[in-house]
Amino acid sequence: MLSPHEFSVGHIGATTGLTLVLPADRYDHLLLVTTAHDEPTAIFLDDRHQFEAFGCEGNTNYKGILVPNVQVEVDETSAFDVSRNWAEIGCLVRKDDGLFMSTLVERRLGRNRLIALQRSLAVCEANSAIGFMRWQIVIGEGTNKRTLRTVAQEKRAG
């Protein structure tokens, strides 16, 4: 459950920071919006377009319950080395000074791209990167912390 001060209602183009967008009706989507990337970017988390990303600056086409200031936590037991490999779609990657999500850019071409969720973290060693198959979106701290969404990706064979 959310307290009234933890959310607002509106379009995704007006969000700041890391914002979870919960659907308000059957035509809305579950989205994660980040302003840490080069441009404000929305990422679908629901099944229809899961992990597809698109620029959303000033966007008034998508709306919902806006939950700002969410945090992302990774399950350290799901870590894998991505310094020489590409992360599966939907996995999180910690490299350079940030935390990134591997997203689908063009479904028909099967291409993926890393979208920054957080920046200005402690800088990782050059050419080092760790991916995480399981992660969650949380709000609050301490005894008030709640998990709003959990993601568990499976590594493809091969």
Q: What is the pLDDT of residue 38?
A: 87
Q: Residue 48 pairs with which residues in a beta bridge?
A: none
Give SS3 for 8. Answer: strand
Cα–Cα distances in Å, from 96 out to 24, 104, 117, 126? 36, 21, 13, 7
Q: Rank 81-85, 107-111, 121-125 by mean pLDDT and report only the highest.
A: 121-125
Query: Residue type for 153, please?
Result: Q
Q: Grade residue 84 by pLDDT with cuts at 50, 70 and 90.
A: confident
156 has a pLDDT exceeding 60 = no
What average pLDDT does the chain have? 92
Q: Read off the tokens for 155.
A: 């590594």
Shortest CA distance to 90 belongs to which of 157, 154, 158?
154
Across 26-49, average pLDDT: 93
- The amino acid that residue 23 corresponds to is P
Q: How would residue 110 be classed by pLDDT, with cut points 50, 70 and 90?
A: low
Note the pLDDT of residue 154.
Answer: 76
Q: Which residues contact 108 (CB under 8 A, 6 or more apart)?
A: none
Which 3 state secondary structure label does DSSP give 41?
A: strand
Residue 58, SS3 per DSSP: coil
